[in-house]
């Protein structure tokens, strides 16, 4: 213990506990209120998913659709919004759940809104996901397009969206699983990435639908 | 706690230490840190001109300051931030550095016996922020609001976590450690006993969250349920490691709180009042 510390003044009198408690409540209200204001400044609409702040142009890409025809995604060119998911047809749980839930969200939209939305599954397993297999898979879950992109273009496309994937449980050339990012990326009619949902958020169909309706009505052109 | 980073997915899922610690330059972080550092060392150089100044500001305090600043930059500006969605453990380690390592280093780097006038605006503000009730409430709110898996307001939690949460951990950590170490005795009335009780209570929310993560048999934090994890770890292993990290990070503050309580009890046993304790660390 130094001489300095011995000469430290005793300090002010403690506040009454009720005044300290009131200040504590005020401080918590300011922190949480500040977080709310920050979130609203970043994105005026209270997205349930994670908003892109600011929205950024979605990367274009090309591949082959489930009918084996060349397919090109040019963001903003169709005048429709696009929900993009990276998955694969041998996926045991996440991909089927994701496609099932996104179809439920789609069905919850009005007919007019449904016409303004495309759903795209980009296969992260182009070796096994043939066009025929993709077609059967996406049609089983509803109305979506299955897109096959060969490597190395696939890894570039996935990376440009912030998605990753990795082969695991390799038991043979045709026997393996693929771990992959489980987000759905929503591109608006203006070609901007607006929001993403993790697949665990999708069971909240009404909240996802609310995000989707807002983006359909408010594209960034 | 919820966040989804907008960074590009890293191609390498087994990064080495040098890859994790590669620094980037965000002027909104670097410039304030450099400005505060310059101000600190300018005052330090002035203080060193007198014998009293040298006694109040020994050489090891700037060392702690530099260490705190370096840890702050690695926690916020390193490439480790790019792997946030691939490793809850890595993310938690960064947050714990900000909450439990940087604040004590920065608080201890302040010169001894700082005489802040409690009647001036800065003194009044710090007197409120370093009130144990206020610090405990803010710290608990940050830990609880952003760590409960469901979140009290999913939209706010999801959309503020990536940018705001590290800053909140740092600021609330500074408040907590400011109360525990009492660097500004002229505006901080708390005696050593109440600081010990405070430290004990402040450790509780973090330890509770850490225990839940440690012992839960399912992944509670939604974005990590199906995450592509670093180093071949499963999401559940990541969650458990995060629990360990949180628990270990909270131990020094908890230990210090117990020491303070023991010192207070000894003072009571000796028949002394706890009104004018020395600052801890002196």
CA distance A188 to chain B (A): 17
CA distance A215 to chain B (A): 15
Whole-angstrom distance, CA of residue B70 vs CA of residue B73 = 5
Contacts with A85 from chain B: Cβ below 8 Å = none
In a domain, A175, yes or no: yes
Whether residue A195 contacts residue A213, with contact meaning beta carbons closer than 8 Å, is answered with: no
The verdict on a CB contact (< 8 Å) between B158 and A42 is no
The verdict on a CB contact (< 8 Å) between A166 and B159 is no
Which residue among B112, B113, B141 places its CB closest to the CB of A28? B141
User: When comparing pLDDT for B210 and B218, which is higher?
Assistant: B210
In a domain, A20, yes or no: no
pLDDT at residue number B227: 64
The verdict on a CB contact (< 8 Å) between B9 and A12 is no
pLDDT tens profile B28-49: 899 999 999 999 999 999 999 9
In a domain, A72, yes or no: yes
Contacts with B145 from chain A: Cβ below 8 Å = 32, 35
Residues facing A63 on adjacent strands: A71
pLDDT at residue number B280: 41
pLDDT tens profile A67-112: 999 999 999 998 999 999 999 999 888 899 999 999 999 999 999 9
The verdict on a CB contact (< 8 Å) between A10 and B159 is no
Interface test with A, best of B154, B171, B226 (most A CBs within 10 A): B226
Contacts with A48 from chain B: Cβ below 8 Å = 154-155, 158
Which residues, including other chains, have CB under 8 Å from residue B72's CB and lie 6 or more apart? B33, B97, B98, B102, B170
The verdict on a CB contact (< 8 Å) between B187 and A24 is no
Whole-angstrom distance, CA of residue B197 vs CA of residue B265 = 12
Whole-angstrom distance, CA of residue B70 vs CA of residue B21 = 11
Which residue among B9, B56, B158 places its CB closest to the CB of A159? B9
User: When comparing pLDDT for B15 and A3, which is higher?
Assistant: B15
pLDDT of A3 over the 80 cut:
no
In a domain, A21, yes or no: no
pLDDT at residue number B8: 44
The verdict on a CB contact (< 8 Å) between B55 and A4 is yes
* Residue A12: Cβ-neighbour burial (10 angstroms; 0-12, 13-18, 19+): middle
pLDDT tens profile B174-184: 999 999 999 99
Radius of gyration of chain A (CA): 24
CA distance B232 to chain A (A): 9
Work out how many domains chain A is built from and give that number.
1
The verdict on a CB contact (< 8 Å) between B164 and A35 is yes
Interface test with B, best of A164, A180, A195 (most B CBs within 10 A): A164
In a domain, A18, yes or no: no
Domain interval for residue A177:
50-217
CATH number of domain containing A61:
3.40.30.10
In a domain, A77, yes or no: yes
The verdict on a CB contact (< 8 Å) between A51 and B168 is no
Q: How many CB atoms lie within 10 A of CB A202?
A: 21
In a domain, A120, yes or no: yes
The mean of the pLDDT values for chain B is 83
Mean pLDDT over B101-129 rounds to 91
Q: Which of A94-103, B161-170, B225-234 has the highest mean pLDDT?
A: A94-103
pLDDT of B7 over the 50 cut:
no
Whether residue A19 contacts residue B133, with contact meaning beta carbons closer than 8 Å, is answered with: no
**How many residues are there in chain A?**
221
pLDDT above 90 coverage of chain A, percent: 58
The verdict on a CB contact (< 8 Å) between B159 and A43 is yes
Contacts with A158 from chain B: Cβ below 8 Å = 9
In a domain, A137, yes or no: yes
Whether residue B149 contacts residue B222, with contact meaning beta carbons closer than 8 Å, is answered with: yes
Which residue among A15, A42, A158 places its CB closest to the CB of B131? A15
Whole-angstrom distance, CA of residue A13 vs CA of residue B184 = 14
Whether residue A180 contacts residue A164, with contact meaning beta carbons closer than 8 Å, is answered with: yes
CA distance B74 to chain A (A): 23
**What are the CB-based long-range contacts (under 8 Å, 24+) for A11-18?**
A11/B185, A11/B186, A11/B187, A11/B188, A11/B189, A12/B118, A12/B127, A12/B186, A12/B187, A12/B189, A13/B189, A14/B189, A14/B190, A14/B194, A15/B131, A15/B189, A17/B133
The tokens of A13 are what? 């009198």
Interface test with A, best of B3, B4, B83, B123 (most A CBs within 10 A): B4
The DSSP 8-state label assigned to residue A163 in this structure reads -
């Amino acid at each position: 213990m130094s001489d300095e510390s011995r000469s430290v003044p005793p300090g002010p009198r403690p506040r009454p506990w009720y005044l300290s408690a009131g200040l504590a409540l005020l401080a918590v209200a300011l922190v949480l209120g500040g977080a709310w204001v920050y979130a609203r400044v970043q994105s005026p609409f209270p997205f349930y998913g994670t908003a892109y702040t600011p929205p950024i142009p979605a990367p274009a890409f090309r591949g082959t659709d489930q009918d084996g025809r060349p397919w090109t995604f040019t963001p903003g060119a169709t005048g429709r919004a696009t929900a993009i998911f990276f998955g694969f047809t041998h996926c045991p749980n996440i991909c089927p759940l994701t496609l099932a839930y996104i179809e439920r969200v789609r069905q919850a939209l009005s007919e007019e809104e449904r016409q303004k939305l495309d759903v795209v599954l980009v296969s992260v397993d182009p070796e096994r996901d043939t066009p025929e297999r993709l077609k059967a898979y996406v049609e089983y879950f509803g109305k979506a397009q299955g897109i096959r992109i060969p490597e190395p273009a696939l890894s570039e496309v996935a990376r440009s969206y912030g998605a990753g994937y990795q082969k695991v449980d390799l038991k043979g050339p045709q026997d393996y699983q693929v771990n992959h990012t489980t987000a759905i990326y929503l591109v608006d009619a203006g070609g901007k990435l607006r929001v993403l949902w993790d697949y665990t958020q999708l069971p909240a169909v009404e909240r996802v639908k609310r995000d989707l309706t807002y983006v359909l009505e408010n594209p960034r052109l | 706690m919820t966040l989804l980073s907008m960074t590009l997915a890293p191609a390498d899922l087994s990064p080495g230490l040098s890859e994790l610690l590669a620094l980037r330059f965000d002027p909104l972080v670097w410039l304030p840190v450099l400005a505060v550092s310059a101000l600190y060392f300018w005052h330090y150089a002035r203080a060193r001109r007198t014998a009293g100044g040298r006694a109040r500001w020994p050489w090891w305090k700037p060392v702690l300051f530099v260490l705190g600043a370096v840890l702050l930059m690695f926690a916020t500006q390193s490439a480790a931030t790019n792997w946030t969605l691939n490793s809850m453990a890595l993310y938690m380690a960064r947050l714990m550095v900000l909450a439990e390592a940087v604040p004590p280093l920065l608080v201890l780097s302040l010169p001894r016996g700082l005489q802040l006038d409690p009647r001036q605006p800065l003194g009044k503000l710090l007197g409120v922020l370093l009130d144990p009730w206020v610090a405990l409430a803010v710290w608990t709110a940050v830990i609880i609001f952003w760590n409960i898996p469901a979140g009290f307001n999913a939209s706010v939690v999801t959309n503020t976590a990536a940018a705001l949460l590290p800053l909140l951990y740092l600021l609330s950590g500074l408040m907590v450690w400011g109360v525990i170490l009492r660097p500004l005795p002229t505006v901080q009335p708390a005696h050593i006993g109440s600081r010990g009780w405070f430290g004990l209570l402040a450790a509780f929310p973090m330890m509770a969250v850490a225990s839940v993560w440690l012992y839960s048999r399912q992944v509670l934090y939604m974005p990590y349920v199906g995450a592509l994890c670093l180093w071949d770890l499963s999401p559940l292993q990541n969650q458990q490691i995060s629990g360990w990290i949180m628990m270990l990070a909270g131990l020094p503050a908890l230990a210090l709180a117990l020491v303070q309580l023991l010192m207070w009890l000894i003072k009571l046993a000796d028949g002394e009042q706890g009104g004018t304790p020395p600052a801890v660390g002196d």
